Structure 1
Amino acid sequence: MDIGAPLKDLGVVNVKDLIARLTTLTEEDWTGNTMRQDILASEAHSATDNIVMKTEWHPSASNSNLQHFEDLVYVWAKSKGHDPEKFLPIAREDTDFWPIYTMPEWLKFKDVLEPVIQQAIAPLRTPRGVISRLALVRLKGGGQIAPHVDGHAMATRAHRIHVSLSSTPTVEYKIDGRKFTMEMGHAYDFNNRVRHSVRNKGRNARINLFVDYYPDRGLIINNPLNVSHPVHVTPTPRIQ
């Protein structure tokens, strides 16, 4: 979302328990699921390792010609030699724009993430707001994300919040031509609708929590004539 400024500090968030959980993660936890790099994000984000817990999706976001996110995940998993059941979404929330899918990884982090999310979105909270994307994102030492503008449709509507989970003062964010750093334990409203890049000039990995917050899920009207279902699996259960 274009927030009218490159970056806004939303304040301090208690990330102690979440950081403790991160120390237990293995390299396989970070690199074993490349779904975001392969089918969800732009090429600019290929430099990062991701643990995706929520994502919005619509057929227009993919050139696969698949009409259901479940089928997209199924086909991707099969192409990688994975068991699709381990990667399929576990819940779906509808909005007036795109549906939002909760991924299996959410269950592994829910207990430590929910308090962090509630603190991070507190300055922006609205009665009908919803989390549209949620991911832990790691940029290794020496890595960089090339200059880009987030072009997916929800980027125009949702706040992109970064919660900094690592003390990496050598990580430089360049947003709309200006340079910034982030402090560990702070949440930031990040303007991803202007040109931005990230460069990790240090040796230690930068780890951030991404929280996309859609302020108003709108009026949801389901078309009773739409009886289409995924081809390969059963539809994801809907939650209100």
Structure 2
Amino acid sequence: MDIGVPYRRLGPVEIEPALALLRSLTDQDWNTNRIRQELMAASPHRDTTRAIMLKYNWLPYQKPWGMRTMRELVEAWCRQENVPTDDLLPEIEAETDQGHVNVFPQWARFRDVIGPLVEQATSYLNAPRGIATRVAIVEMVPNGKIAPHVDGQAHAAAAHRLHIPLIAPPGAEYKVDGKKFKMQPGFAYDFNNRKQHSVRNKSPRPRVNILIDFLPNPGAPMQTALPPKFG
């Protein structure tokens, strides 16, 4: 969302439980759900980040997949990769004018820790009708770089893009609309993804953020019921 400034520091959040959770994660935890990296993430992010995707909004029949639901996309990807679907199939939590909010199985494990952080961060926006449409834990590799780009999807124009830094090495630097800044752990930030932005992690340590998309004024669902499945 274009918030009128490159970024805004919203206020403090309690990250200690999330840091403890982060220390317990294994490579398998990070790599179980590769769908964001291999299908959903824009090209600037694919080689320099990995993520644990917890929630994701989905527009029926959106390009390039043309799938009715995100669940169908995941099923197709699992068949292609010959992996079981048990830990991957999402369920629709809500429907808005920006599509279906899908919840992945990993949310059940992380809800008690990440859920309060989402609530703390979004409370600063004073939008009681709002809904978190995307939630992910995102790691950026050491010495990684995300090239300048603008998030051009319709959803990006309607939703706040929030970041909660958990691990922020000194070399992690952001640039939005020509302005450089660094994020401090323990605070939530509203990030203007409708302006050109880039990220560099000039550090031997990874950078880890919680990423939240928050729709402050969800409209009526684009479709009150899912269309019939073809085929």
TM over 0.5: yes
Q: Distance in 2 between matches of 1:157 and 1:206?
A: 27
Amino acid of the structure 2 residue aligned with 1:198: V
Who is 2:29 aligned against? 29
Matched residue of 2:167: which SS? coil
Are 1:136 and 2:119 an aligned pair?
Answer: no
Helix, strand or coil: the match of 1:132? strand
1:219 positional shift: 2.9
The CA deviation at 1:227 is 4.2
Which piece of structure 1 moves more, 48-57 or 31-40?
31-40
- Verify: 1:40 aligned to 2:40, yes or no: yes
2:92 and 2:100 in contact (8 A); partners too: no
Task: Provide closer, same or farther for how the CA distance between residues 90 and 67 of structure 1 changes in structure 2, counting only shifts above 3 A.
Answer: closer
Match in the other structure for 2:111 = 110
Structure 1 Cα separation of the partners of residues 190 and 222 of structure 2:
30
Question: Per-residue displacement from partner, 1:140-166 (whole Å, max 9, x unpaired)?
Answer: 111111111112220000000000101
The answer to whether the 8 Å contact 1:169/1:183 transfers is no
Give CA-to-partner distance per residue, 1:169-211, whole Å, 9 cap, x none: 2101011111110101110000001111111001111000001
Residues 26-72 of structure 1 show CA distances to partners (whole Å, capped at 9, x for unaligned) of 11211332100222121111020000000011145431222222111
> Which stretch of the first structure deviates more once superposed, 147-156 or 134-143?
147-156
Q: Which residue of 1 aligns with 2:99?
A: 98
Using the aligned pairs only, state the percent identity: 39
Q: 1:168 to 1:221 in 2, by over 3 A?
A: closer
Q: For the aligned residues, what is the CA RMSD? A: 1.7
Deviation at 1:108, TM superposition (A): 1.1
Q: Secondary structure at the match of 1:165?
A: strand
Cα deviation, 1:115-152, whole Å, max 9, x if unaligned, reads: 11111111113121000100000001111111111122
Q: CA deviation at 1:97?
A: 2.8
CA shift at 1:221, angstroms?
7.0
Partner of 2:24, secondary structure, is coil
Runs (5+) with no aligned partner, structure 2: none
Unaligned runs of 5+ in 1: 232-240
| Partner AA of 2:179 in structure 1 | R
1:18 aligns with 2:45: no
User: Does the alignment pair 1:156 with 2:152?
Assistant: no
Structure with higher strand content: 2
Q: Does 1:191 align with 2:199?
A: no
Partner in structure 1 of residue 2 of structure 2: 2
Letter in 2 for 1:195: Q
Deviation >6 Å, runs of 4+: none
Q: Deviations over 1:71-116 (max 9, x none)?
A: 1111011111211232110333111231111111111110111211
Cα distance between partner residues in 2 of 1:151 and 1:39 = 17
**Contact (CA 8 Å) 1:169, 1:182: kept in 2 or not?**
no
**Maintained 8 Å contact 2:61/2:69:** no
Give the distance between the partners of 1:208 and 1:221, measured in 2 at CA. Answer: 31
- The DSSP-based 3-state class of the residue aligned with 2:111 is helix
| Aligned partner of residue 94 in structure 1, secondary structure | strand
Q: Give the total of aligned pairs.
A: 230
Q: Is the 8 A contact 2:90 2:102 kept in 1?
A: yes
User: Which residue number in structure 2 is paired with residue 146 of structure 1?
Assistant: 147
Pair 78,12 (structure 1): closer, same or farther in 2 beyond 3 Å: same
The whole-number CA distance in structure 1 between the counterparts of 2:230 and 2:11 is: 42
**Contact 1:128/1:218, CA 8 A, preserved across alignment:** no
- Name the SS for the 1:109 alignment partner: helix
Residue of structure 1 in register with 2:121 after alignment = 120
